[in-house]
A and B are shown apart, each in its own frame.
Chain A
């Protein structure tokens, strides 16, 4: 099984190293292994794509790393330091997540100001006022959005707020769980551009989960394909572009991204 035998040049230190990750749901007879022996390592400043069909465990990997699913084993190391089951406050600062559905991931009764300043207060940051304003400017919204509520924003604007929230704590690693799948293509282009710019200016490390191969090819250098909880193939973006993937499921994904082909 392919694991972390990355062929990429690795001068950069490893930002996120996941080894033999297993995630379980349920108890006793019902116990289900949703993620099976997944190993991924991402260099600092790198962008890693996870693709696969729904139920393949790709989002679960992110949720385990971010601490949203407690029932996992294996090792996860961030900047060389293995993390414990109980998350330290400092860990939360280094790794942040952007969720799939901007209509569901923002608290409907909290103003944008409250959404963005809450993590700052929890982590005892100073200059909260300036930081919130700056964050809104950085994601291209501007200060005027600060005291609005999510229902007053469009999907793309909400996703910008979600990205701003993830950036509030100045993390090193961003976990992106299908950040554009709920958005129109024109808005998707804006959000993807924003994410690329932020990665460049802040030297962030991304893990991007998606089922859209074109998005992954645009954003990532290296791609892992998951199926039924396992990584079935790891390849770089060139291999994918040349349509040379080894695994059948990857080929199917590629074919589908070309559009519809009638039954032969």
Chain B
């Protein structure tokens, strides 16, 4: 059993309005070591909120509450906002889903990547540029010099996503939270991006939280899977055993997928059981 990099206990994320309180994440506990952990679930299951709450990126009126959020022995909840800024990017970095909203539209792509590097290292401008172009190359951007001098609106969605990934990986974080990092990418590029992340986990011992709705991908890419529904963890298992998952929700998701090799007339539709919402959350420790 490897030592846990991130430990989260009893995490709640609530959004209070005048009329009612919406609970996006409801008391989940999990830990992540130097491994690839997949979090799967549908939209609204709280998987993205989980990723964001670790980095304290939930905005008002959202409230995060947890018994424990420890990263590498450090209590993240006790840190000041200034200290938190040092954690973000340098130690834990987050690749967000949509490059359209996550890149600064009035700043050149290259400047954004170099900035990410220079904030956390003492590198010179030229050195940062070299590293940035190297990184753009690594995420398979043809013509990285041209892209370096482009604005976000001048690149395609898939390229934007790769730029984000380059930006997040350049400070060499210990933990990468990737929120649907490849869903906008073509299969060939997707594979390349996964290989880059895989390499970082294997060689540098980076931890990875891979948030996705693609069950096949998570099953083949990750070491462990956490399945979320209605803000709770309904099941957790080894990724290679996902096909034998027991919870009816996981089974329903698996059955809803069309399969190239097993043609059927009708896809089975997920029947939701209200009991799933009420069931206690399953702990997903290492």
Contact B220 A258 (CB under 8 A): yes
Contact A259 B220 (CB under 8 A): yes
Given contacts A193-B266, A214-B258, A241-B260, whether A53 and B43 have CB atoms under 8 Å apart is no
Contact A218 B186 (CB under 8 A): no
Contact B259 A256 (CB under 8 A): no
For residue B195, CB closer than 8 A to chain A, the reply is yes
- In Å, the complex CA distance between A184 and B183 comes to 12
In-complex Cβ contact of B270 among A54, A186, A256 (8 A):
A186
Using an 8 Å CB-CB cutoff, how does the interface string of A187-224 with B read, 1 for contact, 0 for none? 11110110010000000000000010111011000000
Q: How big is chain B's contact interface, by range?
A: 35 or more
Give the most central of A218, A252, A261: most B CB within 10 Å.
A218
Contact B269 A217 (CB under 8 A): no
Contact A53 B42 (CB under 8 A): no
Q: Within residues 154 to 207 of chain B, which ones have a CB less than 8 A from any CB in chain A? A: 156-158, 186-191, 194-195, 198-199
Q: Within residues 208 to 264 of chain A, which ones have a CB less than 8 A from any CB in chain B? A: 211, 213-215, 217-218, 237, 240-241, 252-254, 256-263
Expressed in whole angstroms, the minimum distance between the Cβ of A87 and any Cβ of chain B is 29
For residue A89, CB closer than 8 A to chain B, the reply is no
For residue B277, CB closer than 8 A to chain A, the reply is no
Expressed in whole angstroms, the minimum distance between the Cβ of B195 and any Cβ of chain A is 5
Give me 17 other A-B pairs in contact (C-beta within 8 A), A155-B43, A189-B269, A211-B187 excluded.
Answer: A53-B189, A55-B156, A184-B42, A186-B253, A189-B257, A189-B268, A190-B269, A196-B266, A214-B257, A214-B259, A214-B260, A218-B264, A256-B190, A256-B191, A258-B216, A260-B217, A261-B220
Query: Measuring CB to CB, which residues of chain A are less than 8 angstroms from any residue of chain B?
Result: 53-55, 155, 184-190, 192-193, 196, 211, 213-215, 217-218, 237, 240-241, 252-254, 256-263
